[in-house]
Amino acid sequence: MSNMLKPTAEDVGDKLNAAVNLKRSLGFFDSVCFLVGSIVGAGIFVSPSGVLAYSQLNVGVSLCIWAASGVLTMLCSLCYAELGSALPYAGGEYYHVNRGLGSLPAFIFIWTLTLFIRPASNAARALTFAEYATQPFYFGCSPPIFVKKILAIGILWILGIINTKSVKMATWVQNIFTVIKMMSLSLIVVYGIVVLGTEKNASENFNDAFGSQVPNAAQIAESFFQGLYAFGGWNFLNYLAEEIKNPSKNIPRTVFTSITAVVVFYLLVNISYLTVLTPKEIVSSAAVSVTWADRTIPSVAWIIPVSVAISIFGSLNGGMFMLGRLNYAGSKQGHLPALISMLHVHHLTPAPAMIISTIIASIFVIPSDLLSLTNYFTFCSWLLVGLTSTSLIVLRFREPKLHRPYKVFLPIAFVVVGVSLFLVLAPIIQSPKVEYGYALLFMLSSLLVYFPFVYFKLRIPYFDNITCYLQLLLEVSPTDMFEDNKSQ
């Protein structure tokens, strides 16, 4: 039985290349498509109304908020680029917090991320996809909830199967859908530039752009949250660092290229919206892009809802891919059952991790009211960003000889920690609600699992037998045991 759970010397062989492990198959273009495709979802099609509303219809302030959100995203991404290029292993933030700050904080966050935040986020994306995908078939009526849930669960399992069967297939899906969604954004951008250059009144919203009421600090913070929502997914790249070719070069290059492209596109798309619609029209719109399409291309306005659905599909594929790697990394570090870190012997994909991720996300779709609670876990995500940047600072001093192909300017890490702390505390202080207490209790409940099963290493009777049976059923094998030694 022990031989089934751990690779023997004969199984692993004398060469690392013979080991069962994730393969470095993602090139620069694949990495860019993955990161851009993960970021560009429904946010840019919906968030502009929220940013402008909290900016008090002040066009100049709203554009500054978008630019500032992009700058903060870039600063955070640069910190992650150093960690990803120096420690190119699956798990992203979780792996870095575990390496820099220790096992307990890492376990608290993998507990919160894998059981609530990431599955709920994927479920919300799937439901949003179902909303837009079914919209053209109901002609202005809201699609039945049952239909949306069935479609959402179906799309989760389709992507789950794709990610289980083949990394190459999942990458191909991400590349294709990223190209399509960027073509959709390009359509909006080009039309806005043409209108701005040919119609006299098109620049009216930009005249005296800062002339409207200036929002207060609380409103700016709310507007900032809306902008940052559209950049969600910027931290996904490090989760697949173990599968990127030449990570020391490709991770920093991917970060610079992808984040810069997204920031430029987001600003140009917002300018295009403002050339066609007034600020009041944007704020009153549930989906700005759909309103924009009804005004500019009414005969083929269905293109935009389809484009939104495509964008969400690509973003969801990135979220599914990332969550599988998070579970895989947590299992390799001993924080999750050993089965989850095993790879399919033929496809070399983390099949058990993908199956678990898909099941949990599907459960969240069924009682979709639970998804409203994800708003109260936002502070957890930024707390994790702050802890990851803190890990970078700690590792700079604790492991000065660690090979770092790219080094971020260290004060940037301190800035990210400070901003993260603000983004953690601002929503709690500004509008304290009991739901934040529930979120904190959920995080602390991880201690009930950590101490008996991780710290004291208690074993559940017959659990090894179950693992062996599932290992045979799923045709999965333990990965090689050399990775952590190489990273030291």
Residue 308: per-residue pLDDT: 84
Query: Look-up: residue for tokens 């870039």?
Result: 74
Mean pLDDT over the full length of the chain? 86
Report whether 277 contacts 289 (CB < 8 A).
no
What is the residue range of 296's domain?
2-14+22-487
Residue type present at position 375: N
| Residue pLDDT, tens place only, 411-464 | 999 999 999 998 888 878 877 888 788 888 989 999 999 999 999 989 888 888
What distance in Å separates the CA atoms of residue 441 and residue 257, rounded to the nearest whole number? Answer: 39
| Residue pLDDT, tens place only, 391-405 | 999 999 999 999 999
How confident is the model over 69-85, as a mean pLDDT?
95
56 Cβ contact list (under 8 Å, min separation 6): 212, 213, 214, 215, 219
User: Is 49 buried (19+), middle (13-18) or exposed (0-12) by CB count in 10 A?
Assistant: buried
pTM of the model: 0.88
SS3 call for 141: coil
Residue 10: per-residue pLDDT: 35
Number of structural domains found in the chain: 1
Task: Work out the percent of the chain whose per-residue pLDDT is above 70.
Answer: 92
69's enclosing H/E stretch is: helix 59-86
Residue 4: per-residue pLDDT: 42
Which two tokens mark 196?
């701005």
Q: What is the torsion angle, in degrees rounded to the nearest 10, for the CA atoms of residue 110, residue 111, residue 117 and residue 118?
A: 50
| Residue pLDDT, tens place only, 107-164 | 999 999 998 888 988 998 898 888 888 877 776 677 888 898 999 999 999 999 999 9
SS3 call for 246: coil
Distances (CA, A) of 61 to 161, 230, 282: 44, 17, 15
| Residue pLDDT, tens place only, 332-366 | 999 999 999 999 888 889 999 999 999 999 998 98
Report whether 447 contacts 456 (CB < 8 A).
no
485's enclosing H/E stretch is: helix 483-487
SS3 call for 282: helix
Which two tokens mark 373?
């609670």
Residue 466: per-residue pLDDT: 92
| Residue pLDDT, tens place only, 188-229 | 899 889 988 888 777 887 887 887 788 887 788 888 888 888
Check which CATH number belongs to the domain holding 117 and give it: 1.20.1740.10
Residue type present at position 113: L
Residue 28: per-residue pLDDT: 94
| Residue pLDDT, tens place only, 439-451 | 889 899 999 999 9
Residue 8: per-residue pLDDT: 39
Residue 13: per-residue pLDDT: 35
Query: Look-up: residue for tokens 């895989």?
Result: 328
